[in-house]
Amino acid sequence: MIKNLKRYADEFKTFAVKGNVIDMAVGIIIGAAFGKIVDSFVKDIIMPPFGWVLGKVDFSQMFWVLPTSLDAEPVKYPTIAAAQEAGAVTVNYGMFINNIISFMLVAFAIFLLIKGINKLKTPAPVVEEVPTTKECPRCFTTIDIRASKCPNCTADI
């Protein structure tokens, strides 16, 4: 049992030190920070003018209030916060629209980032190997490239 634990601890140490865990952690931290930036960009920069162009619409305040029962009329609330404070159940479709736009911007930013990284990568130089052997046209054996006569069938090459 202890021998197995030691082996697992050694395997984990190798895995963690190789950089897989560290790279993953850095990626998650950068991704979270990048997500906050994009979220702010969408909420504070993109959506206000977009809503203004569409007739002064604030997507973050677009919602439906679900009625308390199937036969009841839904109550109207001026904001999501007011509806939620009153205990109403809301469907916040405007926030969903914001999140879709945010996702599209993140996907586009990642596309541009990967495209830029790929441009920075220089392709490995193609090294063409100089052939050192050739095939005899009569007996099809492999012979040295410098040979003028096949050592197997004695054909002139």
**Residue 157 and residue 85 in one domain:** no
Q: pTM to 2 decimals?
A: 0.52
C-alpha span between 24 and 71 (Å, rounded): 51
CATH number, domain containing residue 72: 1.10.1200.120
The per-residue pLDDT for range 15-68, each reduced to its tens digit, is 777 667 777 888 888 888 888 887 788 778 877 887 788 777 777 888 999 887
How much is the average pLDDT of 85-98? Answer: 89
Supply φ then ψ for residue 102, to 5 degrees.
-60, -45
Q: How far is CA 58 from CA 37, 94, 114, 135, in A?
A: 20, 8, 33, 76
Q: Are residues 137 and 110 in the same domain?
A: no
The phi-psi region of residue 111 (left if phi > 0; otherwise alpha if psi is between -120 and 50; otherwise beta) is: alpha
Overall domain count for the chain: 2
Mean pLDDT, all residues of the chain? 82
My answer on whether 111 and 87 are in the same domain is yes
| Domain identity same for 80 and 157 | no
Task: Provide the token pair at 54.
Answer: 């569409």
Q: Is residue 80 domain-shared with residue 147, that is, in the same domain?
A: no
Q: Tell me what percent of the chain is helix, strand and coil, each rounded to the nearest 5.
A: 55, 10, 35
On whether both 70 and 147 belong to a single domain, the answer is no
How far is it, in rounded angstroms, from Cα 99 to Cα 26? 24
State pLDDT tens for residues 136-152: 988 888 988 888 888 88
Same domain, 146 and 117: no
Quick one: pLDDT at residue 1? Answer: 66
Residue 48 sits in the same domain as residue 100: yes
Q: Residue 53: give the domain boundaries.
A: 2-121
